[in-house]
Structure 1
Amino acid sequence: MGNSYSFFFALVCLVVLASTLALASAYCGPIKADDRDRLQFALNLEFFEAEFFLFGALGLGLDALAPALAGGGPPPIGAQKAKLDLVSRQIIEEFGYEEIGHLRAIITTVGGFPRPQYDLSPQNFARVFDRALGYKLVPPFNPYLSTVNYLLASYVIPYVGLVGYVGTIPDLANYPTKKLAASLLGVEAGQDAVIRALLYGRAYEKVHPYNITVAEFTNSISYLRNELAMCGIKDEGLIVPLQLGAEQKTETNVLSADANSLSYARTPPEILRIIYGTGSEYEPGGFLPKGANGRIAKSFYKV
Structure 2
Amino acid sequence: MTDDVNQQLIETFDRRAERRSERRDFFKTAFGAAAVAGIAGGAIGLAGRAEAQTAPSDADVLNFALNLEYLEAQFYSFAANGTGLAANMLTGLGTQGAVTGGRKVNFSDPIVAAYAKEIAGDELAHVTFLRTQLGASAIAQPAIDIDVTPTSAFSNAARAAGLIGAGAAFDVYADDNSFLLGAFIFEDVGVTAYKGGATLLTNKTYLEAAAGILAVEAYHAALVRTVLYGKGIATPSLRTSADAISNARDSLDGTTDLDQGISPVTANGGTASNIVPLDNNGLAFSRTVAQVHNIAYLTNARAMAGGFFPAGTNNPNPDLRFSGAN
Q: TM-score range by the shorter chain?
A: 0.7 to 0.9
Say which of 143, 146, 149 aligns to 1:120: 146
> Aligned equivalents of 1:138 and 1:300: distance in 2?
29
Q: CA deviation at 1:14?
A: 7.5
3-state SS of paired residue (1:77): strand
Local SS of the residue matching 1:119: strand
Equivalent pair of 1:20/1:227 in contact (CA under 8 Å)? yes
When normalised by structure 2's length, the TM-score is 0.77
1:218 paired residue among 224, 242, 252: 242
1:79-118 aligned within 5 A: 79-84=102-107, 85-111=109-135, 112-118=138-144
Separation in structure 2 between the aligned mates of residue 33 and residue 280 of structure 1, nearest angstrom = 22
* Correspondent of 1:191 among 217, 220, 223: 220
Matched, 1:47 2:47: no
Q: Which residue of 1 aligns with 2:204?
A: 175
Could you tell me which residue of structure 2 aligns to residue 74 of structure 1?
A: 97
The one-letter code matched in structure 2 to 1:69 is M
Residue 173 of structure 1, CA deviation:
1.4
Q: CA deviation at 1:88?
A: 1.3
CA deviation vs aligned residue, 1:87-115 (integer Å, no higher than 9, x gap) = 21221111111111111111222341110
Contact 1:38 1:296 in 2 (8 A): no
Moved more, 31-40 or 157-166: 31-40
RMSD across aligned C-alpha pairs, in angstroms?
2.8
* TM superposition score normalised by structure 1: 0.82
Aligned twin of 1:279: 300
Percent identity over the alignment is 27
Partner in structure 2 of residue 254 of structure 1:
275
Structure 1 outlier segments of 4+, above 4 Å: 11-16, 296-302
Task: Return the alpha-carbon distance in structure 2 between the equivalents of residues 80 and 134 of structure 1.
Answer: 21
- 2 CA distance for matches of 1:225 and 1:82? 24
**Aligned AA (1:282):** A
Quote the offset at 1:51 in angstroms.
0.4
What is the aligned counterpart of 2:180 among 151, 164, 181? 151
Query: For 1:228, which of 234, 252, 269 is the aligned residue?
Result: 252
Cα pair 1:205 1:213 within 8 Å, conserved:
no
| Bigger relative contact order, structure 1 or 2 (CA pairs below 8 A, ≥6 apart) | 2
Match of 1:20 in 2: 23
User: Does structure 2 conserve the Cα–Cα contact (< 8 Å) formed by 1:164 and 1:265?
Assistant: yes
Distance 1:102 1:165 in 2: 13
Say whether 1:264 aligns with 2:285.
yes
CA distance change for structure 1 residues 297 and 86 in 2, over 3 Å: closer, same or farther?
farther
Q: May I ask how many residue pairs the two structures share in their alignment?
A: 275
